[in-house]
Chains A and B, each alone.
Chain A
Amino acid sequence: MFEAKLNEASLLKKIVEAIRELVTDANLDCSEAGITMQAMDSSHVSLCALNLRSDGFDHYRCDRNLSLGLNLANLSKILKCAGNNDVCTLRTEDDADTLTVTFESPKQERISEFELKLIALDAEHLGIPDTNYKAQVRMPSAEFQRIIRDLSVIGDTCSIAVGKDGVRFGVEGDLGSGSISVKQNTAAEKEEERVEVHMEEPVELTFALRYLNFFAKATPLGPIVALSMSPDVPVVVEFPIETVGYLRFYLAPKIDE
C-alpha cells in the first residue's frame, strides 16, 4: 500500500495551484524515496518537475512503486474542501483505481474523506541530465513574481541577463521598452531577502512571459526562487519547498530568427 501524511494540507494545495493552469493530467510517481511528478504543458513547451522526499512527510509508506494518474483540476476541487491547517493523508491500496484523500482538522473534530478516481496516463517521461549552469540567481520569489507580472503588461517576451552585479529583466513592446535590475545583495538580514549571483560567465536569454507567469504561480510555496541558465538550454526556475523538496519548471529560450 501507499500512504503519505502531510502536516499541512496547504502545501499540497499550493503545489496543485502552482501547476494546474499549466498541466491538465499528471502521474504522481511514488516510491520508497518519495513522490515525484514530471509533466509538460499541452504544447510540450514547458516542463515541471516536483520532488517531495519521503522524509519530508509526517508519515510515509510505499511498499512498491506506483504511478497515480491524476486530473489536477479534480484534485484541486477536493483540496478546496481542506482547511489550510488540516492534516492531509493520501492513501491507496495496490491496484486500486482511486486515491483516498483524508483531511483532519488540528483538533480532530472534523474528518473529511474523498475518493478521487485515478486515470490511466501514457505520459512521456524525459530524462533531465545534471547540468552545470553558467549563471545562477537566488532571489525573493515575491520579487520575481512581481517583475514578471509587471513586464507582462508591456510585452510578450522578457530578457533575463545575469551579470556579476545582479540580474536584469528587460522587455520591449508596442509602447516602448524597459528593464528592471535587481542588484546582488548578500548582506540582507534575512536569508529570504538576499539576492545571490553565482556565475562562471554572464548569460542573457529571452523567454515567453506567458510561461514565466505560469511558473510564478508557485510563489506561495516559499520565499525563494532560483534561476539557472546556460546559453541555448532551458532555464530552470526552481521553487525550493522547505525541508521537503522542490518544484522546478523548465522553459527553452526564444531563438532569434
Chain B
Amino acid sequence: KGGQTRMDTFFKST
C-alpha cells in the first residue's frame, strides 16, 4: 500500500 498525497501537491494556492 502506498501513501496518500495531499491535494496541495496537485493544485496550487491561488
Contact = CB atoms under 8 A, between A and B. Distances in A.
Given A44-B7, A254-B4, 12 more contacts: A43-B4, A44-B8, A45-B6, A126-B7, A127-B12, A128-B11, A156-B1, A206-B2, A234-B7, A250-B10, A252-B6, A257-B2
A124 interface: yes
Interface of B: 1-14
Contacts, number: 56
Given A44-B7, A46-B7, A124-B8, A254 B1 contact: yes
B11 to A, nearest CB: 4
10 contacts: A45-B4, A45-B5, A126-B12, A126-B13, A206-B2, A234-B10, A250-B10, A252-B7, A252-B9, A257-B2
A226 interface: no
B11 A255 contact: no
Contact of B5 (A124, A206, A252, A257): A252
A157 B14 contact: no
A254 B7 CA distance: 12
Contacts of B5: 45, 252, 255
B8 A126 contact: yes
A124 B1 contact: no
Contacts of B8: 44, 124, 126
A174 interface: no
A130 to B, nearest CB: 12
